[in-house]
Amino acid sequence: MWGISYGIIEKRSKKLLRRLVATPMKKSYFLIALITVRIAMNFIESFVLFLFALFAFKMNIQGNISALILMFLAGNIAFAGIAVFVSSHTSNTEVGNGLINFVVFPMMVLSGIFFSYQNFPEWSLPVIKNLPLTMLTDGIRSIFNEGAGFHEVTIPILILLAIGTLFFSVGLKIFKWH
């Protein structure tokens, strides 16, 4: 989220996006290019961490590696779509930082990355389980630790793809160059 959102907001605040209005490039091409670069970078970074954990800690993946890659891509698409939506209209970096934190921080606290979300009140669990980051972390954990395959993570993958597509589409509609 930070890489895409902050990149767009910073380009807009420096008036770099305004120059692209005169080109024949569509907004969607520009945004998809940013997303593609970020996903490629995330893949390389994750692969390096994966190799380190594999050799340094003798990590063993219990589940399907193809399902893990699909879950990784679906999560990247979901958060890239949210990032486009969040950064589609603001040109002030301080406001942009606030918007990004407003979206990211609650998910980081609630999703079970740092501590189990099962410790939260019972009434909040249905909301927490439907957060995109919770779906991503639960899916990746189930592949790594519980031996999950395609069948167990198909629904979270489809939901994450739908979230990414929905937010990207809305963000594209309200996106402004300047």
List the one residue out of 14, 133, 13 whose CA is nearest residue 76: 133
Domain boundaries, the chain: 2-174
Which structure tokens are listed for 19? Answer: 């120059």
Q: Tens digit of pLDDT per residue, the chain (178 long)?
A: 888 888 888 888 888 888 877 788 888 898 999 999 999 999 999 999 989 988 999 888 888 999 999 999 999 999 999 999 998 888 788 888 888 889 989 999 998 888 888 889 999 999 999 999 999 999 999 998 888 889 999 999 999 999 999 999 999 998 887 7
The burial of 25, by beta-carbon neighbours within 10 Å (0-12 exposed, 13-18 middle, 19 or more buried), is given as exposed
How far, in Å, CA of 88 to CA of 98, rounded?
Answer: 14
